[in-house]
Structure 1
Amino acid sequence: MLTLHRAAQLLADPTAPSITDGAVLVDGAVIAAVGPYEPVAGTRVREWDGLLTPGLLNPYGQWLLERAYHPDPREELGDEPLMLEVDEARRGGSARRGLQRMLGYGTTAVAGPFELPAVRTAVARSGLVSLPGEGAAGGLDPLASAGLAAAVHRPLTVGGRADFAVFDVRSAAELEERGAGCCLATVLGGRLLYRRR
Structure 2
Amino acid sequence: MRTLHTAGLLVPGPGAAPLGDGAVLVEGDRIEALGPFAELAARYPQVRVRRWPGLLTPGLLARGADTLLERTYYPDDPYETAELGTDPISGADALGALELTEARWGNSARRGTQKLLARGVVAVAGRFAIPAVRTAVVRSGLTVLPPAPYEGPPALDPLPDAVRGDLHAVREAAGQAFHGVLEPGAPARFAVFAVADEAELLSRGATTCVATVIGGRLLHRRR
TM-score bracket for this pair, using the shorter chain length:
over 0.9
Give me the whole-angstrom Cα distance separating, in 1, the residues matched to 2:86 and 2:10.
31
Q: Who wins on radius of gyration, i.e. which is larger?
A: 2
Closer/same/farther in 2, CA of residues 10 and 157 from structure 1, 3 Å limit: same
Q: Which moved further from structure 2: 137-146 or 167-176?
A: 137-146
TM-score normalised by the chain length of structure 2:
0.83
Superposed displacement of residue 60, structure 1: 2.5
Which residue of structure 1 aligns with residue 160 of structure 2? 139
**Structure holding more strand per residue:** 1
How many residues are aligned here? 197
Give me the whole-angstrom Cα distance separating, in 2, the residues matched to 1:33 and 1:79.
42
Give me the whole-angstrom Cα distance separating, in 2, the residues matched to 1:116 and 1:14.
33
Give me the whole-angstrom Cα distance separating, in 1, the residues matched to 2:217 and 2:11.
19
Which residue of structure 2 aligns with residue 169 of structure 1? 195
Give me the whole-angstrom Cα distance separating, in 1, the residues matched to 2:147 and 2:209.
24
Which residue of structure 2 aligns with residue 47 of structure 1? 51
Which residue of structure 2 aligns with residue 23 of structure 1? 23
Superposed displacement of residue 81, structure 1: 2.2
CA-based RMSD of the aligned residues comes to 2.0
* Identity within the alignment, %: 52
SS at match of 1:133: coil
SS at match of 2:8: strand
Give me the whole-angstrom Cα distance separating, in 1, the residues matched to 2:180 and 2:86.
29
Matched, 1:196 2:210: no
SS at match of 1:49: coil
TM-score normalised by the chain length of structure 1:
0.93
Give me the whole-angstrom Cα distance separating, in 2, the residues matched to 1:34 and 1:140.
33
Runs of 5+ consecutive residues of structure 1 not aligned to the other structure: none
What's the CA shift string for 1:6-44, capped at 9, x where partnerless? Answer: 111101112112111000000000000112112122211
Which residue of structure 1 aligns with residue 179 of structure 2? 153
Give me the whole-angstrom Cα distance separating, in 2, the residues matched to 1:80 and 1:192.
27
Give me the whole-angstrom Cα distance separating, in 1, the residues matched to 2:177 and 2:189.
14
Matched, 1:113 2:113: no
Give me the whole-angstrom Cα distance separating, in 2, the residues matched to 1:78 and 1:172.
34
Contact kept? 1:143, 1:151, Cα under 8 Å: no
SS at match of 1:115: coil
Matched, 1:71 2:97: no
**Structure holding more helix per residue:** 2
Superposed displacement of residue 80, structure 1: 3.6
Contact kept? 1:2, 1:27, Cα under 8 Å: yes
- Residue identity matched to 1:62: D
- Residue identity matched to 1:138: L
Contact kept? 1:112, 1:135, Cα under 8 Å: no
Give me the whole-angstrom Cα distance separating, in 2, the residues matched to 1:78 and 1:173.
34
Contact kept? 1:52, 1:164, Cα under 8 Å: yes
Matched, 1:94 2:85: no
